[in-house]
Chains A and B, each alone.
Chain A
Amino acid sequence: MLSADNFLHIGLAHYIFLSGILFSFGMIAVLMRKNVIVMLMGIELMLNAVNLSFIAFSKESGNLNGHIMVFFVMTIAAAEAGVGLALAVAIYKKFHEVNIRFFEHLRG
């Protein structure tokens, strides 16, 4: 299975592997960091990893639908970053800190 050809011929599997590693890094950032903005950055990292796999699959299958999907994901990610940063500003105005531990009890 692990021959020299697998290492030297870059195909879909290599890009999927890279995408999976980047996605897990983003997920670890969301789960483990305490700063709200770094958690948002983890979400951006996950979205980008998924974009990479979309483009790789699009190249493999030879049509452009994956490119369109990446276009949409980028737009949604920009909107999500705007909303997330507005929430971070709202948290900061209240607590003068953007640590998630101040914001874990939601009171109505």
Chain B
Amino acid sequence: MWEAIGFYALAIFLIYFAFQTITVPNPIHSALYLVLTMVGLSAAFFNLGAQFIAGVQMIVYAGAVMVLFVMVLMLFDLKAEIRAFSQGLFSGGLKVMSAALLAGLAIGAANSSVAILDKPVEAARAPADVTRQLGLLLYTKYLFAFEALGLLLLVVAVGVVAVSRIRGGTHAQR
């Protein structure tokens, strides 16, 4: 009963914040609403028994990534946009409908696959145990993926420096 009330309250908040994120004309407000969405998602992860992921979500997304977004926005000194959305009522409706169609397809497919999933093994693990098992899995079975990810981050760091040094890019004046 209380679980249901908590879930619906969280879902309403999440949907409201996400809707505000994509509709407010001022990009800074949009970023701040996205921070609230991230915090709500972190609460949802906590509900689902993923305490470590919830903490990482708070630190990495709400902490680091969104602060980066807000800093870049402040660098640009943007005002609220007069035309925040792309023009064209017909194409806009088409875009919304295609997004809704994709979401409906995904939800339908997932719902029909819920029935054929194996029943949960009912592992009421302690939070510390989840984190410990996560670490064990990450450094044994997924060690290669972990190292590849580190290499990817190095390449991205070099690439970002290279991209931010270009002058004009494809629109360079000649």
Residues 12-62 of A at the B interface (beta carbon under 8 Å): 12-18, 20-29, 31-35, 37-38, 40-42, 44-45, 48, 51-53, 55-62
Residues 17-61 of B at the A interface (beta carbon under 8 Å): 18-19, 21-22, 27, 30-31, 34, 37-38, 41, 44-45, 48-50, 52-53, 56-57, 60-61
- Main SS of the interface on chain B? helix
Number of A interface residues at 8 Å Cβ cutoff, please give it. Answer: 78
Given contacts A31-B95, A59-B48, contact A25 B18 (CB under 8 A): yes
Interface contact A90-B169, CB-CB below 8 Å: yes
Size category of the B interface is 35 or more
B residues lining the A interface (CB < 8 Å) = 1, 3-4, 7, 11, 14-15, 18-19, 21-22, 27, 30-31, 34, 37-38, 41, 44-45, 48-50, 52-53, 56-57, 60-61, 64-65, 68-69, 72-73, 75-76, 78, 81, 83-86, 92, 95-96, 98-100, 102-104, 106-107, 110-111, 114, 117-118, 120-123, 130, 133-134, 137-138, 142, 145, 149, 152-153, 156-157, 159-160, 163-164, 166-171
